[in-house]
Amino acid sequence: MIKTINYLFVTCFGVGSFRFAPGTITSLVTTIFLYSLFHIINLSSNIILTILIIILIYSFYAVSEYIRYKENKDPKEVVVDEFIGQSIPIYIYEISHGTVKDSQESVLFYFYIFILFRYFDIKKPFPINFFDEKFKNSFGVILDDVFAGLYVVLTLIIFMIIKSKFFQ
């Protein structure tokens, strides 16, 4: 039973089992899911944060159990790390400035976040590549995507600073 629950969890209910681009598809599903929570359901950002923290904490255990007897310690079907990494910049965008976000503006920023996250997750600049190469366990599987998400946040902050300084 727990093995099945872990499989469903680490593959984001089977999305990771898709043959083509399971990480990209998971990132897209995550983007749509979070947009729905923030803009359609209007769920409190505190509740969403609590859910994301629980997912992050449980993912270390679930991924560890899933890859325990596998030769490949970062199998492509494990995509909960993409969910976590994609969630970080979206959540931070949504709580930034303490204002309610316009749905049309949000769609545009969600698109930027999606593209940037996929770029950093695929290219793996330092320290993303460090975690990916040096830690062949759940820590490495998850943290490389956490750092990819943080790179997206940093990129958007730089973009907003440049925009405010030069394009006002």
For residue 137, is it left (φ>0), alpha (ψ between -120 and 50) or beta?
beta
- Local confidence pLDDT in tens for the 168 residues of the chain: 778 888 999 999 999 999 999 999 999 999 999 999 999 999 999 999 999 999 999 999 999 998 887 776 677 899 999 999 999 999 999 998 777 778 788 999 999 999 999 999 999 888 777 777 777 777 878 999 999 999 999 999 999 899 888 876
Contact 85, 24 (CB under 8 A): no
Give the Å distances, CA to CA, from 14 to 19, 69, 123.
11, 20, 25
State the burial class of residue 77 (Cβ atoms within 10 Å of its Cβ: 0-12, 13-18, 19+): middle
The alpha-carbon radius of gyration of the chain (Å, integer) is 16
In angstroms, the CA 21 to CA 83 distance is 14
Counting every residue written for the chain, the total comes to 168
Structure token digits, residue 68? 């325990």
Closest by CA to 117, choosing from 157, 98, 80, 90, is: 90
Encoded amino acid at 98, one letter: G
pTM, full prediction = 0.91
- Over residues 92-125, the pLDDT tens digits come to 999 987 777 787 889 999 999 999 999 999 998 8
Contact 59, 2 (CB under 8 A): no
Domains of the chain, by residue range, sit at 2-166
What sign for the dihedral angle of Cα 105, 152, 74, 4? negative
